Amino acid sequence: MHPLLQQNTWRFIDQSITMKARTPLESFAMDDTLCQLVGQLQSSSTVRTWVHDNTVVLGIQDHRLPYVQEGIQYLNSRGYQAIVRNSGGLAVVLDSGVLNISIVLSEQIGAININEGYDVMVGLVKLLFPEAADKIEAYEIIGSYCPGSYDLSIGGKKFAGISQRRLRQGIAVQIYLCIEGSGSERAKLVKDFYTFSLKDDETKFAYPKIQPEVMASLSELLEKPLTVRDTVFRLQAVLNQLSNQNSVQSLNEEELELYTFYLNRVLERNEKMLNRK
Contacts of 172 (CB under 8 A, 6+ apart): 31, 32, 34, 35, 87, 102, 103, 104, 164, 165, 166
Q: Out of 104, 141, 146, 162, pick the active-site residue.
A: 146
* Helices of type H across 14-91: 24-39, 68-77
Rg of the chain (C-alpha set): 18
- Does residue 35 carry a catalytic annotation? no
β-strand partners of 101:
49, 175
**Residue 121 CA to chain centroid, in angstroms?**
11
CB 178, CB 217: distance < 8 Å:
yes
Alpha-carbon dihedral sign for residues 155, 158, 160, 161: positive
10 Å CB burial of residue 110 (0-12, 13-18, 19+) is exposed
The CA-atom distances, in angstroms, between 219 and each of 171, 180, 189, 216, 254 are 29, 6, 19, 8, 40
The span from the CA of 111 to the CA of 133, in Å, is: 27
Q: What is d(CA 177, CA 194) in angstroms, rounded to the nearest whole number?
A: 22
Instruction: Give the rounded distance of the alpha carbon of 26 from its chain centre.
Output: 13
Residues marked active site are found at 146
